[in-house]
Copies of this chain bind each other. A is one copy, B any other.
């Protein structure tokens, strides 16, 4: 995949490159589960995609309802505030999913936008999106969903769920280097864009300008990050070659095996089973264990990087990602073996062999 990045840079209106762009759009629609015409990658990382959705769909004074059960929900609220919106936060526990009832309970009156994170990378919780469509209808709101850590790893069905706008990143389950953010907008969202009373505050992220470049007109906006787009094209091709169903099954299987192994080690997970995110698993740090020392041990002895807790989970959790090409049996086994050694090095031995616990899950 990395080799695709090093293909010769061509002009941003070169016929070869325009074909690459069209194929990226078609493949992105397949991954997002949508027929949305306005589907393409923004020239920035996932946070740029988030800001694109918010600044284009909102105008100063608009009311926004934002689910916050982790870092990225909090970031949506902050970006919406900076766009001049009046934000109502739906507070959820970190590590838990958000429910339609929580949104209903926090809402008062109508809203322009209901925002939610599908897969909270900071905690490992997965919120069901389909039930929020009804809530959005009740509140007169469009539904905006963060799919950064879900796209390519677990099912994403924008059209079936009734999502109006979504963004993702390239460096999670797509296994592409960071630098681009696929976005998608429904017909309803496009109507909202067409009815804006004032220009979008950001020129760089203004969809009405960017869509002209990605659409039939090919109007120059900014120079596209050509080589990053080669990389994304190859990454999307690899996802579809594997097949979405097979890819989701692989992610689910490896994650379940990891969980079986972690439980054999006597470790507790942050999130209840039915709300757990497949590509990212949060483990509670047992009492008496130096969590940073464990991460250092994994990195130095096993060349394995896992995440620490963020925000209110700092020092209290580890975050283990199994995303895209990294979701393999070998990585699960390496992680379980390394974690067992790290805990043993801190005097916490275990009776059960985590690899033996994981094995039947791989073979199921």
A residues near B, CB below 8 A?
A: 2-3, 5-9, 11-12, 14, 43-48, 50-51, 55, 75, 78-79, 81-83, 169, 171, 177-179, 199-205, 221-228, 231, 305
Contacts and interface: CB of A to CB of B under 8 A. Distances in A.
A120 B81 CA distance: 36
> Which of A55, A200, A223, A305 has the largest count of B CB atoms less than 10 A from its CB?
A223
13 contacts: A2-B9, A9-B178, A43-B45, A47-B203, A51-B203, A55-B202, A75-B203, A177-B227, A178-B223, A178-B224, A178-B226, A179-B228, A201-B202
Contacts of A199: 81-82
Contacts of A226: 177-178
B225 A179 contact: yes
Q: How many copies does the complex hold?
A: 2
A246 to B, nearest CB: 24
A357 B294 CA distance: 70
A222 B199 CA distance: 26
Contacts of A75: 203
A73 to B, nearest CB: 14
Interface of A is mostly: loop
Given A2-B8, A177-B226, A305-B11, A201 B82 contact: yes
Contacts of A224: 45, 178
A-B CB proximity, top 3 nearest? A179-B225, A177-B227, A47-B222
Given A82-B199, A225-B228, A228-B228, A47 B204 contact: yes
Given A222-B45, A222-B47, A228-B228, A171 B9 contact: yes
B228 A48 contact: no
A8 B177 CA distance: 9
Given A44-B44, A45-B222, A2 B11 contact: no
Given A199-B82, A202-B51, A202-B82, A2 B227 contact: yes
A188 to B, nearest CB: 25
Nearest to A310: B220
Contacts of A3: 6
A106 B75 CA distance: 42
A232 to B, nearest CB: 12
A203 B202 CA distance: 11
A226 B231 CA distance: 13
B203 A78 contact: yes
Contacts of A203: 47, 51, 75, 78-79, 82
A224 to B, nearest CB: 7
A82 B82 CA distance: 14
A221 B78 CA distance: 13
Contacts of A227: 2, 5, 177, 179, 228, 231
Given A5-B6, A83-B201, A177 B225 contact: yes
Contacts of A223: 45-46, 169, 171, 178
